[in-house]
Amino acid sequence: MIRQRTMTYVCLMVATAAMVTGCVSPFAPEHRARVRFEARTLDGSRNNRRNTGWGKAGTPYRRLVGARYVDNVTVMAEWPNARTVSNRVFNDTGVNLFSENGNSQWVWSWGQFLDHDLGLRDGTPAESLPIAYDAADPLEEFTNDFGMIEFDRTPAAPGGQAGAPRQQVNTISSYIDASNVYGTTAERLEWLRTGTVDGRLRDNEATLLTDNGYLPRVTARGDSSTAPPMELMGALHGAPDRAVVAGDARANENIALTALQTLFVREHNRIVAALPNVLSSSLKFEIARRVVGAEVQRITYEEFLPSVGVRLPRYRGYDRRADATLSNEFATTAFRAHSMVHGEFEIDYEPGAYTPEQLALFKGWGIQLIDEPDEQALVIPLSVAFGNPDLLEAVGEGPVLESLGGERQYRNDEQIDNTMRSVLFQVPKPGMADPSACQTPVIDPECFNGVVDLGALDVMRGRDHGIPNYNELRRAYGLAPRTDFASITGEASEAFPNDPLIDPADPIDDPDTMDFVEVRDADGVLLDLDDPDAVENAVTGVRRSPLAARLKALYGTPDAVDAFTGMVAEPHAPGAELGELQQAIWTEQFRALRDGDRFFYARDDALRTIRERFGVSVLSLAEVVAANTEVTIGDAPFFVAPE
């Protein structure tokens, strides 16, 4: 009897960077078998045993085609001016077009969450090359007291050979491994794991640190200066101690992203709680990490990619020849789907869900309150949601996640909402009587005094990283180059129309050239442009001038078009949210991330063992949300449910 009791607590446990093994009580029948599996490294190294640096944090992006620089080494192209392009191509002039396939805001939100698991360029400021800002541009609506748009080049990867083209470093693991939840260094992970921070991960607990179910603040362990670095934006610049900490430094960017980061920390801790106590903290942690990483993969490949029309060839198992390292073309150009981002979140709530004091706080932040007999809602402008983790806690994790499935995202095209195209991460000028009037239903340029243009930055980042021009990139991905601008956009003409409202002498600089003349819904029904309710259903629009004509006036020849600009100008493939080039780049990269990952969930025997021994399964997105919040989101969250 004594011997049996002693044996109950005897358990071999070894945890290293490469292997996690363990045994559990031999007297619990469902747990008799030994648990043994190889753990992923935090930084992605040694995933490929022959090429141990493939996909590793801190290594250069791979390139499918040679870098393009003016001097073939480092000098980037700077013309046409990126803000000029933005005002004439990316400018939506306040008319929103929505996903023609009914994709919900879960698509862009998951895309950003996934992006932060895959790539992060070195953000150390290198050479400053600000984008010239022309206040006299007739298409410029915004005031910019700074006189330019700040832009810093990405540092060159160290160790480059003299005369060789400039390369850039991906600072995080390329693999889909939930590194945005856990980080890619032991130092960040130790801070995130419950327990002491003493340089020894082995004595930390299995759970991740939370504060009432939300991400910990930088002050959670006392001195905020000892917390892992987090990027600050918007109002957080004035209140840096309100920032939350996660595996990825960008977790504070907006409330949807912060909510997803929070969701998977909760999911990790839920899995840990479901495991038997006889397991060591190290083993429970690694089991939960393995399942969370598999869930991110499952949701990506079974839900997210099919929802936007990306369908990969059938999976045939691990291929050690497949390099999963993130490509520069994908990270810098193709996965920048900023046009999809909706300009607001609409949170429906029941009467009494928020106190009068909370509602007053929301209004003071610039949130529009809808209080009608049949509807109570918070309309949160994206600019209010930037850098505002306090807002997530005030509104609630469940309501924010539920809202993502309630509205369609914007159409993935060349148009970018002014929240991101002109006032990214900014707050209204002090003294505005009603900040909500600055941002709904459209951005009021008079409320802001600076310009930060994400579309222009996307163009410049492509030039900075030496991304080939549009036609060169099409050739690299096996697509035929375009010989005229109309073939890029799918329009019938690349000429400015003979329209009395457009100046024939200088049509590209005439603001009237950007006017929408008609919009239609998904059934092709013509909508009234003057009816705000009607245009909420718009999925296609016709402007006074063809996009092809504006591209021709800006670039002159299709061979000069920036890859990002040409990519977003393409018409979508049938039933897809992506054009031909973007779809080709996504397909190549996600196939490499799948086939080149030795731990891919579809072939991972450890997941089967975990399910059989402990009853812990790899869940869908809807199941993860239901298991960790009070809301349900339906079985097809990446699409808006039909009314």
DSSP letters, 603-616, are: G-HHHHHHHHHH--
pLDDT at residue number 162: 84
Evaluate whether 182 touches 201 at the Cβ level (below 8 Å).
Answer: no
Contact 270, 629 (CB under 8 A): no
pLDDT of residue 21: 43
Would the pLDDT of 239 be above 60? yes
pLDDT at position 434 is 62
CA dihedral 247, 251, 257, 259 (to 10 degrees): 70
This prediction's pTM: 0.93
Q: State in Å, rounded, how far the first CA of the chain is from the last one.
A: 65
Percent of the chain with pLDDT over 70: 91
pLDDT score, position 433: 54
Residue 135, Cβ density class (10 Å: 0-12 exposed, 13-18 middle, ≥19 buried): exposed
Tens-digit pLDDT profile for residues 499-512: 999 999 999 999 99
pLDDT of 420: 83
pLDDT bracket for residue 234 (50, 70, 90)? confident
Reported as a single tens digit per residue, the pLDDT across 162-220 is 889 999 999 999 999 999 999 999 999 999 999 999 999 988 999 999 999 999 999 99
Q: Which residue(s) pair with 286 in the sheet?
A: none
Compare 425 and 601 and report the one with higher pLDDT: 601
Helix, strand or coil for residue 285?
Answer: helix
1-464+587-643 CATH, one of 3.40.50.2000, 1.10.640.10, 1.10.760.10, 1.10.10.10? 1.10.640.10
pLDDT digits (tens, 9 = 90+) for 12-65: 233 333 445 444 443 344 444 467 889 999 999 999 999 999 999 999 999 999
Element (H, E) at 381: strand 375-381
Average pLDDT along the chain? 90
Please check the confidence at residue 592 and state whether its pLDDT lies above 60.
Answer: yes
Phi, psi of 195 (to 5 degrees): 125, -170
Query: For helices 605-614 and 281-299, what crossing angle results, to 10°?
Result: 120
Q: Give the per-residue pLDDT at 282.
A: 95
Q: Is the pLDDT of residue 297 over 90?
A: yes
> What's residue 383's pLDDT?
84
Interval 363-418: pLDDT, tens: 988 899 999 988 999 999 888 899 999 999 999 999 999 999 999 999 999 999 88
- What's residue 78's pLDDT? 83
pLDDT at residue number 152 = 95
Which residue has better confidence, 125 or 460?
Answer: 460
